[in-house]
Structure 1
């Protein structure tokens, strides 16, 4: 290996080219900083290359395929409809490649230096970069760590190629499995289970928390939809053993009811991760981390070392690209001297299942636990005109409201349009909207957004498309 002779100085060095890293790099460049980004793999990180984009391509394709019976019902005949996995994988790779070229073009346009290699922090504001055949040392004024996290198997379970895998390895399968067992209680588990069921696989879902962290009304509706779709749900369960054979995986699990053994073509784990921080050398520069290796940061993205920042899945908190993007941008702005900060109090969670789920703010349970006296309103998607005509009648919209002040506390939705409409809910919560702020505007008709109006009005007994409550409202002058 050739070692560079001199320490090279850089203004801002970013380690990791995922959503947090590349957004920070571009924002910093916009603000006039000279930026160097170190990435050992491809720009875009897990999200673009093996996570968010490939998985959402899958859920989108599966949803389109599942919608074919409705198209026939409307008179659109597709006699030879079938799903071809190899062609889908080609489409998936094409989509990823196109987006990756877009990121590379943005880096070039913003004059961001990209160095391929593995970075290690040293003392005195230095980072060493090993490119395999060459080693260079860099000295930075500021640094941002955005190295993400990697999936891990539960204790006692060993990965087996094509048999016992992580969610990001689903794209490497050569066909849709006959029986897929999904183990996880996160949004990836929900998406994966329904996507492969839509594509014709038999699906079993093993979850340690059958609410999946969702509001209780949404969780009940999700379980109803799983039952209707014939997805076998093992509640409050864990995998005890998993052995991959030539033809199948033998899985022993303990649920809240029984200990059973099931056979599957593929077993996929979705919700156990470890931050990519243990080989960065952060202990040399005394960056504070928790016991699992997640980096502690403040509202500016600063670590315990003033000139070192962090963003994304390597920091404490939810594993969401949206979190990483916000943290990365704020860190870049703070480094550039702007008054910029972020809060993770109102981060929307979106699940691209069928139907999609989106939530922001407090669940009904959380609101009660925090001492709020609440009122709730909800409206089923089946009562919405546009949902009915488009054949997307599954799901509901729910509002959680402070009964004393009428302040909106949480917005929860399962159904068509949820992923797009949740931004309105986030904005309403950020602006401390009250019930009247959501019920006053004129809503387009017919539209999916009318479910929100009906949910808000149901909280006060004014919903038009619901049976009347026992206590009728009295008009006053």
Structure 2
């Protein structure tokens, strides 16, 4: 038992064991640096514990239930019973396997693991308070530090997560019962993923969104396909409304909303899920003691080598701002560790892909046609609809398309937008093409396995050349 304050030292001190922090710790240790990783909750951070992994587990289970419930056209009839508590137990098992794996990997790479909450004492020292009464604290002096504390769900007025009927995304992913009626505040990627999941599991879902469509930031024809599919699942959308409050009733709760003109509406529910975005976890670190600066929203500003305004203190992942993606955090963690090790590393990737695990999925990378034109390129676009894909037809999932954007004079691939089955997997091919500086001809002339969904990427490239075989040329 540690009582009082003891002092230790380390080459690299990393705060936060999410996909940015633990990857940075392993890479730093691989470079021969004495590395200490501090985590106050669970190894793997938000992504493994209450984000990417558990949500995808629920999405997979919900998709399976929906598939077998709607397969009469294939000659299969079934009425699956959803046992939410068992599903959550299975999800927890997946999470436990991955988080324990992170801990084992860190230990195998000689990373010093420390449980506790870290705050900066000065620019070369942190204090780590250990959990539990009488556990005390310790000071750790460091030569370099990496802040990887991630983000938390944004709270909105009158919707405190401490109130039992109000869910954050974390609460939703710990559910042991499917609510009969669920109101979701926010139609961004988190709100849309969880709305679709609970609708498939049997909830009557109503979405409140202040903007005029789902998935802001995506092109209209991409978001429209996802919205129409959600509506086919019975999800009701109410755009131009902001959630203003809720109150308990004899039958559950009533959520109220208000338009900009002051018009009010009310919606009955058993639970209300607030999914309006995430904010950085930077306010608990006492950054002012180290002189580390943040912007007006609390994000830590960094350069392309992940350095903050204090050169030997780095920040990676959500706490450093967009793109708030786990795979981006991991790449940044590698860069931070290699920079500290004295290597010429930098965030010089050509493009970072993103995925939304709605139904259908969305995968994007690089520039849209409009963005390419704004950046001075002469874009040429090729598309392949999944309704013309033999493999998509055999899966029963034909909504959506593959769209590839290239620079017409040079042929270089600039970006892609995919909405449809396995879009999160298919986007990897175009990401690699951009990273390698490949041309549209390189993709079109590459032989793809038949029958596969990946053929749609090849066909889109051929379409950009005016040489598509299995879809009409533009």
What is the CA–CA distance in structure 2 between the aligned matches of 1:453 and 1:85, rounded to whole Å? 40
Counterparts in 2 of 1:263 and 1:404: CA distance versus 1, 3 Å: farther
User: TM-score, length-normalised on structure 2?
Assistant: 0.92
Residue aligning to 1:316: 321
Structure 1's unaligned 5+ residue stretches are 470-477
Q: Secondary structure at the match of 1:367?
A: helix
Residue aligning to 1:39: 39
Residue aligning to 2:298: 293
Aligned: 1:240 with 2:239: no
Alignment of 1:207-218 (within 5 A): 207-209=209-211, 210-212=213-215, 213-218=217-222
Aligned: 1:452 with 2:469: no
Q: Secondary structure at the match of 2:61?
A: helix
Measured after TM superposition, the shift of residue 244 of structure 1 is: 4.1
Measured after TM superposition, the shift of residue 188 of structure 1 is: 1.2
Q: Secondary structure at the match of 2:173?
A: helix
Residue aligning to 1:138: 140
Counterparts in 2 of 1:152 and 1:69: CA distance versus 1, 3 Å: closer
Structure 1, 197-206 or 253-262: larger mean CA deviation = 253-262
Measured after TM superposition, the shift of residue 150 of structure 1 is: 1.2
Measured after TM superposition, the shift of residue 100 of structure 1 is: 1.4
Alignment of 1:21-420 (within 5 A): 21-69=21-69, 73-75=73-75, 79=78, 81-123=80-122, 125-132=124-131, 133-159=135-161, 161-209=163-211, 210-212=213-215, 213-245=217-249, 247-254=251-258, 259-343=264-348, 346-420=351-425
What are the superposed Cα offsets for residues 203-237 of structure 1, whole Å, 9 maximum, x if unpaired? 22223442512122211222222232222122343
Measured after TM superposition, the shift of residue 432 of structure 1 is: 2.8
Structure 2's unaligned 5+ residue stretches are none
Structure 1, 454-463 or 322-331: larger mean CA deviation = 454-463
User: Which runs of structure 1 show a deviation greater than 6 angstroms over 4 or more consecutive aligned residues?
Assistant: none
Measured after TM superposition, the shift of residue 248 of structure 1 is: 2.5
What are the superposed Cα offsets for residues 437-465 of structure 1, whole Å, 9 maximum, x if unpaired? 22111222111011122223333443333
User: TM-score, length-normalised on structure 1?
Assistant: 0.92
Counterparts in 2 of 1:454 and 1:73: CA distance versus 1, 3 Å: same
What is the CA–CA distance in structure 1 between the aligned matches of 2:370 and 2:198, rounded to whole Å? 31
What is the CA–CA distance in structure 2 between the aligned matches of 1:290 and 1:344, rounded to whole Å? 24
Asked if structure 1 preserves the Cα contact closer than 8 Å seen for 2:363 and 2:423, the reply is: yes
Measured after TM superposition, the shift of residue 39 of structure 1 is: 1.1
2:446 to 441, 448, 461: 441
Structure 1, 302-311 or 166-175: larger mean CA deviation = 166-175
What is the CA–CA distance in structure 2 between the aligned matches of 1:188 and 1:422, rounded to whole Å? 20
Aligned length: 467
Counterparts in 2 of 1:175 and 1:254: CA distance versus 1, 3 Å: same
Counterparts in 2 of 1:45 and 1:378: CA distance versus 1, 3 Å: same
What is the CA–CA distance in structure 1 between the aligned matches of 2:45 and 2:383, rounded to whole Å? 38
Measured after TM superposition, the shift of residue 124 of structure 1 is: 5.1
What is the CA–CA distance in structure 2 between the aligned matches of 1:80 and 1:232, rounded to whole Å? 24
What are the superposed Cα offsets for residues 188-211 of structure 1, whole Å, 9 maximum, x if unpaired? 112111111111212222234425
What is the CA–CA distance in structure 1 between the aligned matches of 2:23 and 2:420, rounded to whole Å? 30
What is the CA–CA distance in structure 2 between the aligned matches of 1:466 and 1:235, rounded to whole Å? 35
What are the superposed Cα offsets for residues 67-107 of structure 1, whole Å, 9 maximum, x if unpaired? 11465544556x46222111101101111111111112112
Measured after TM superposition, the shift of residue 421 of structure 1 is: 1.4
CA RMSD between the two structures: 2.2
Measured after TM superposition, the shift of residue 434 of structure 1 is: 2.5
Measured after TM superposition, the shift of residue 160 of structure 1 is: 5.2
What is the CA–CA distance in structure 1 between the aligned matches of 2:102 and 2:271, rounded to whole Å? 33
Asked if structure 2 preserves the Cα contact closer than 8 Å seen for 1:70 and 1:391, the reply is: no
